[in-house]
Chain A
Amino acid sequence: MNIIEVKNLKKSYLDGETDTKALDGVTFSVRKGEFLAIMGPSGSGKSTLLHVLGMLDDPTSGKFIFDGKDIGSYSRDELAALRNNKVGFVFQSFNLLPRTSVLENAKLPLIYSDVPEHEWNQRAIKVVEAVGLGHRLHHEPSELSGGEKQRLAIARALINNPDIIFADEPTGNLDSKSGKNIMSILQRLNEDEGKTIVLITHETSTAEHAERIIRLMDGVIDSEELVAHRMTADAEYIK
C-alpha cells in the first residue's frame, strides 16, 4: 500500500516577474515502509518536493494523496494535525530550540498532540535513549556535537511515532563519521520499525542506504532506480 501518491505535481514561484517552475509535473508514489532517496543537483526541485510532501508547502497544482486521502482540500489546521501525528522531520540545520534541554526538545511535538501529559517524559526518554543520548537528557543543544544534535532531531521526529520521516540533507552539516551514524539510525528505523523514510541528499553514498533513488532535474523526474546493492549500516553503529 502506498503512503504517498503524487500525480502531475507542480509548484511555481513568482520570482520578481518571472514564473519559476520548481516542480513541473512530478508523478510517483512511495510505499509504506519504503526507504526512498531523492537526489538531484542544486535547483532541481528536490527540497521543494520534500516540503510539499511534508505538507510544509502547498503545490500549485496536481494531486497529492497521503495515506489514502486527498489532502488538497485540507485546512491549515488539519495539515498541522497531520504533520503532528503522521510525519517526522529531520532538517539539515537541526532546528533545535536553544537554551532548552535535550528532553524538552524531544518533547516539543507532544505539546501540540493529544498524547496525555503523563506519558510525555516516558516517551521522550525512550526516544532519546534510542538515539544514544540517554546520558545527555538535561544538556542543552549548545553542549552537543553536530552528530548528537542531529540524533536529537531524529528523536524529536520519532516522539509521536510517525508513519513517515522526511529527512532533508540530514548529513549535510556533519562529518563523515557522524553522517554514517545518522544514516545507520535512519536505516534501522526503516528496517526494524518499518518507518517510511524519504531522504533528500546530493551524495550518492548517502542515497545508497535507500531502496530506491529518484533523480530530479529541472523540476521533473529524470530517472528512477532501485538500489541493487543497498549499503548496509555500519557494523560498528549497529552494534
Chain B
Amino acid sequence: MTIRHRFTTALRGLTTNRSRSFLTILGIVIGITAIMLVVSLGAGAQALILGQVQGLGTNTIAIIPGRAPTGPSDTAQLYGDSLKVKDLVALQNKSNVPGLKSIMPTVLGADTASYGSNTYQVSIFGATDLMASIFDLNPTYGSFFTQDDVVSSNDVVVVGSKVVEHLFDNADANPVGQKIKIKGRNFKIVGSLPPSGGGSLFNFDSMAIMPYSTAQNYLLGIKYFQRIIIQAVSDAAVTVTADDISSTLRDSHGITDPTKDDFTVQTQQDLANRLSTITGALTWFLVAVASIALFVGGVGIMNIMLVAVTERTREIGLRKAIGATDSDILWQFLIEAIMLTVLGGVIGIILGSSLAFIIALILSRGLGVDWQFIFPWGGAALGFSVSAVIGLVFGGYPASKASKKSPIEALRYE
C-alpha cells in the first residue's frame, strides 16, 4: 500500500464520519487556540511594556536608594534617605562621571489639591525640567516648568488630565494661569497634560508635577531624593557610566565594600530584562495551564479513536481479509489520529491568532493602547508539533490495538 493511499484511506475514514471527526478535534482546537492566544497576547504585552521602558531611552540610568535585601537581617532596603544633595553634586562633577549627559533627582508624595470647593487626591512628582524630554511629555495647554523654576523653588505645577477634570469640572478646560492649593500653599498651573492612555506604563493623569526643590521644601519636608535619573551621553557609555556612578556614590557614602551599597544603580536594559523575564515567565505559566486543555483534548482523541476502532472492527476484519497487512491497518488509524490532531492544531492556530488579532485591534483602537498584534511563530510551531505528537501518542494505542486484531475475530465482531 502506497503512502498516498494510506493518507487517502485515512482521509476517507475521517470524512465518512464528519460530525464525529469535528467533535473529536474540538478539544485540540480549544487547547491550541488557548496557547496561541496566551502566547500572542503575552508577546504583545511584553512588546508594549518593553517599548515603553525603552521609550524612556536606553541610555537612561536610575539610582534607587537601598538595595535588594540579601537576607532577613539585611536592612539596606530601609536606607530610603541615602541619596542626598551632596551625591547630586558629586555625580554632576564631570571628573567623577564623564559619561553623564544630564541628571534629574525626583521625589514623590501624595496630598490633596483644591480649587475653589473642588478637591482631588494628587500624586506629587518632584522633578526637573528634563522630565518633559525623558518621559516625552507634551502639555496640551501651557508648557513645562523651567530650570529657573527648579533653581528658585518656584510654586509652579504641571497637572495631569484627571486633576484638571476633577478640579475644573471639565477635562478639556484650559487651567493654565489658575492657582490650585496643596497643603495650604498656592501653586500656579503652568501646563496641563493630555490623558496618558490605558496601557501606558507611566500614568501621569493624577499627578501634580513640580520642581523637586519646591516639593522637598514646601510639601514633603525632606532633604533626600527617592530616585535620581541620569542620562548617559550614549548607549555605549551606559555600562561605564553606571560603574562610575556606583564608585562615586560609594566615595560619597564612605562605602568600601560593594556588597554594603546603600543604593542600587539600574539601567534601562536591566529593567527591560527583568520585565521581559517576568512577562515571559507569566506567558509560559499560562501556556502550561492551556496545555492542560490540550492534554484533555488528546485523551479525547484516544477515547474517540478507541471507539472508532471498536465500531469499525468489522471493517478492519474485511480489510485484512482482502489483503491489508497489520502495518496497513496501524498506519490507517495512526494517520487518521494525526490528521485529526494536526487539523485541530491548524484550526486552533488560525482561530487563536485571529482572536489575538481582534483583541489587539480592540485594545489599540477601542482603548487607545499602543498594542501590537504579534503572530507567535514559536507558539504556532509548538502548537503544530504538540498536536502531531498528541495524535501519534494518543492515536498510537488504538491504532496498535486495531492492527493486532485477527481477521476472523474482527469479522465475527458483532
Q: Please, which residues of chain B bring their CB within 8 A of the CB of A76?
A: 325-326
Given that A95-B314, A100-B16, A111-B1 are known contacts, is A85 also in contact with B323, CB under 8 Å in the complex?
A: yes
Is A111 a contact partner of B325 (Cβ separation < 8 A)?
no
B233 at the interface (CB under 8 A from A): no
Taking CB atoms and an 8 Å cut-off, the chain A residues in 97-121 that contact chain B are 97-100, 108-109, 111-113
306-350 of chain B: CB within 8 A of chain A: 314-315, 317-328
CA distance A162 to B390 in the complex (A): 41
Given the contacts A100-B12, A100-B16, A111-B9, A89 and B322 also touching, CB distance less than 8 Å = yes
| Chain A residues with CB below 8 A from B323, complex form | 80-81, 83-85, 109, 112-113, 160
Contact A80:B315 (CB < 8 A) given known A51-B408, A95-B411: no
B328 (CB) vs chain A CBs: closest residue: A112
* Beta-carbon contact of B16 and A112 below 8 Å: no
Report the bound CA distance from A66 to B328 in whole Å.
Answer: 24
Chain A nearest CB: distance from B282 CB in Å?
48
Distance of A156 Cα from B315 Cα, bound (Å): 14
Closest to B406 in A: A57
Q: How many whole Å from A74's CB to the nearest CB in chain B?
A: 12
In this assembly, does A64 line the interface, its C-beta being within 8 Å of a C-beta of chain B?
no
Interface: B391 (CB within 8 A): no
Q: Is A59 an interface position by the 8 A CB rule?
A: no
Bound complex: CA A85 to CA B315 (Å): 19
Residues of B within 8 Å of A85, CB to CB, are: 323
Q: Distance in Å from the Cβ of B1 to the closest Cβ of chain A?
A: 5
Q: State in angstroms the CA–CA spacing of A91 and B9 once bound together.
A: 22
A56 interface neighbour in B9, B324, B328, B411, Cβ under 8 Å: B411
Verify B315–A54 contact, CB threshold 8 A: no
Q: Chain A residues with Cβ under 8 A from B1's Cβ?
A: 111-112
Chain B, interface SS category? helix
Bitwise, A58-100 to B at CB < 8 A (1) or not (0) is 0000000000000000001100110111000101000101111
User: In chain B between 396 and 414, which residues have their CB closer than 8 angstroms to a CB of chain A?
Assistant: 406-408, 411
Q: Which residues of A contact B5 (CB under 8 A)?
A: 111
Nearest Cβ on chain B to A123's Cβ, whole angstroms: 14
- Asked if A95 meets B408 with Cβ closer than 8 Å, knowing A100-B12, A111-B1, the reply is no
B383 shortest CB reach to chain A, Å? 31
Contact A97 B315 (CB under 8 A): yes
Chain B, residues 4-21, CB within 8 Å of chain A (1/0): the string is 010001001000100000
Tell whether A109 pairs with B408 under 8 Å between CB atoms, given A97-B315, A100-B12. Answer: no
Contact A83 B322 (CB under 8 A): yes
- Chain B residues contacting A56 (CB-CB under 8 Å) are 320-321, 406-408, 411
Chain A positions within 8 Å of B407 at CB level: 56-57
Contacts of B324 in A (CB 8 A): 80, 112
From B314, B321, B324, residue with most partner A Cβ within 10 Å: B321
Of chain B, the residue at the smallest CB distance from A113 is: B323
In the bound complex, how far is the Cα of B16 from the Cα of A98, in angstroms? 8
Indicate with 1 or 0, residue by residue over A110-138, a CB within 8 angstroms of chain B CB atoms: 01110000000000000000000000000
B residues less than 8 Å from A111 (CB atoms):
1, 5, 9
> Which of A80, A97, A99 lies in contact with B325, CB distance below 8 A?
A80
A contacts, CB < 8 Å to B:
51, 54, 56-57, 76-77, 80-81, 83-85, 89, 91, 95, 97-100, 108-109, 111-113, 156, 160
Please, could you name 8 A-B residue pairs with CB atoms under 8 Å apart, sorted by A? A54-B321, A83-B322, A83-B323, A97-B318, A99-B16, A108-B319, A109-B323, A160-B323
**Given A80-B325, A81-B325, A108-B318, list of 7 further CB < 8 A pairs?**
A76-B326, A77-B326, A83-B323, A95-B317, A97-B318, A111-B5, A112-B325
